[in-house]
Amino acid sequence: MYKLVYFIHTYRYQHITLRRAFMAQSKRLSFMDFSAIISSFAVVTLHSAAGNFSFTNPSPSATLTIIIQIIFSFGVPMFFMQSGANVLNYRERYSTTTFFKKRLTKVVIPFLCWSVIAYVFLVLKTPTINWSIIDFLYRLVTDTILGPYWFFYNIIAFYLCVPFLSVLLNHLKHTQILYLLALSTAVNAVYLPFMRAINSPTLDYVNLFPAIGNYLEYFLIGWYIVHVGVSAKWKKRIYILSILSLVYELTATIISTYHYGYIVKPYYDISNLPAVIIMAALFLLLKENNNNFSKYELRLKFFSGLTFGIYLIHPYVIALLDKLLKVNSATIHILIFPILVYVISGLVVFLLHKIPYIKHVLP
């Protein structure tokens, strides 16, 4: 009898605890909206703050460009972590069929539509191109239409793996999840960068496995931080390692850039381990301050609703402003131009959302 009462009490306690956890998790995470806003701004900054500088001799403008390239490199990784946190638990909300329908309408169709628009601009800008449907399809599958759209290929490949990964995460024990996270990080952020450095043909075989594709660790890290959590001890370790990693990236990149005369990207490449540590720490820091962001929930929700459209149209805004303004001042191009591009892109998306049915191509 005692064992029966103990079992009922234990079961009731666990049920209430899980129910409370689910209710708490079902609340909107405002830090996700904030991270969407700053990640979209970071992407715009990387694409619009570049200047034509000589890196053979140190100068304030050139050094500032290097620092901006490193500091704002979190844009796409942050987007990947948000995606992992949002979709890897989709089975709690809807079916796999519904999941793919949502991804198709919200990501794939807009990407294809704006790729067509980008191809038209490319043809008009480059008369030597023999445009055709075959040429468009070739450029689409080889990612040679518009450079800033490169991350769509990674996100779509990730979506194809989500049904498998979500089942895996639901059935794995905590230690097994940590192993999967460590394995994906070791392969993508340590092994593959090393293989690239030595030009190893092994890369051709490793990339054949879609579930161990590039940047998988970011999706898993985002899901883990939001839905599992990190202990206080490991938070301190991650923050300390991230500071050391950032110092390493800045120092190594600046020194090597002025040595070789061009920006040496591998030291701060988002596929390398130091960057992964920094991005994880930033996402974790934002999550820990979710209550502070909740005060501005409605405003953050509104502005985050513009971010995907900003991703899609900002390359056109950059091209147009470059042609119209012809900014020669390095300081303006580095510090003011990104803000101008971001604000104009956001306003354009906001106005286009007022047009009926436009959200089908500009969500």
Res 48 pLDDT > 60: yes
CB 107 within 8 A of CB 183: no
Comparing 45-49, 174-178, 287-291, the range with the smallest average pLDDT is 45-49
pTM check: above 0.85: yes
pLDDT for res 211:
52
d(CA 252, CA 114): 37
Instruction: With H, G, I as helix, E, B as strand and everything else as coil, classify residue 358.
Output: helix
Nearest one of 12, 7, 81 to 42, comparing CA atoms = 81
Quote the DSSP letter at residue 57: S
DSSP string, 85-111: HHHTTGGGTS-HHHHHHHHIIIIIHHH
CB 211 within 8 A of CB 165: yes
pLDDT-derived band of residue 210, with 50, 70 and 90 as boundaries? low
Q: Where are the domains of the chain?
A: 26-360
Quote the DSSP letter at residue 250: H
pLDDT in tens, 309-354: 999 999 999 999 988 988 777 778 888 999 999 999 999 999 999 9
pLDDT in tens, 55-108: 777 778 788 889 999 999 999 999 999 999 999 999 999 999 999 999 999 999
Res 3 pLDDT > 80: no
d(CA 26, CA 34): 17
d(CA 45, CA 104): 28
pLDDT in tens, 105-122: 999 999 999 999 999 999
CB 149 within 8 A of CB 111: yes
d(CA 71, CA 284): 17
Q: Quick one: CA torsion of 285, 290, 292, 296, rounded to 10 degrees?
A: 130
d(CA 315, CA 341): 9
pLDDT for res 201:
66
Helices 60-71 & 232-260, crossing angle to 10 degrees? 140
Res 9 pLDDT > 60: no
Distance of CA 102 to the CA centre of its chain: 19
Q: How large is the greatest C-alpha to C-alpha distance in the chain, in angstroms?
A: 86
d(CA 241, CA 261): 29
d(CA 48, CA 43): 9
CB 334 within 8 A of CB 61: yes
